[in-house]
Structure 1
Amino acid sequence: QSAIPKGTILAIAITTVSYVIMAIMTGAMVVRDASGSVDDFFNGTFTDCFNKTCPYGLQNSFQVMELVSAFGPLIYAGCFAATLSSALASLVSAPKVFQALCKDNLYPYITFFGKGYGKNGEPVRGYVLTFFISLVFL
């Protein structure tokens, strides 16, 4: 019974530490403002952004992680995989939560969706409802 809370806390802690480490490493590798000009780099004025706008640097460029990574497209693949994983987790967990609401009879007229199928009581009606709601928003 204590494995799920420990695992959840550990997952949150590991994620937080990895985000903090990435923020520190990125801040140590990339200057805040940069002009992107080679001539400014050799003159030592590449961070002089008081009189002009600087499109590069940690503060101005949203593609910094791609620039400092070993293989840039891997960043896009990771973002896509994380988005897909979160979407699928939501599509699977929402019907189960909705089924629990229906079984507890918290809201009138929705007990129809509380019926489970199979030995695990899968909320098939909730899956169908989630599918149609998702279809409406696509």
Structure 2
Amino acid sequence: MIPDEHEESIYTRLDAKQWAAIEAVLPRTVYTRNTDTEDARRFVEAALWVMATGRFWTELPQAVYGPWRKNYVRSNRWIYRGMWQAVIGALGQDSELSTMISRYVKTQVERHQKLGRRNDFRLDGED
């Protein structure tokens, strides 16, 4: 079954404990351009929506999460910089949320490498 545009996944919205764990590992540079922590949280939840629903970034509900392209580019930067790996570590390797993020990151890295994009776009720990 394909989820409809507004279907919420249990992984789409972070609870206070999850967000506190994630926020604690975010480098202060995340807030250099925008000091609004709600923007960072909205981005993380947008990425989780894509990961959980399997929908394309272009299908991201803009009214809820903002422009899809801005979120897509930011997510790729987080992959490249290893920030999703830090989020996985903060949430705990055994959590379902971490597993979902890890699976998404791995898929994106493999996709970019297969397409010949950004040779330095690797999973944390790869040589």
Compare relative contact order (CA 8 Å, sep 6+) and give the higher one, 1 or 2.
2
TM-score range, shorter chain: under 0.3
User: What TM-score do the two structures reach when normalised by structure 2?
Assistant: 0.22
Looking at CA atoms only, which structure, 1 or 2, has the larger radius of gyration? 1
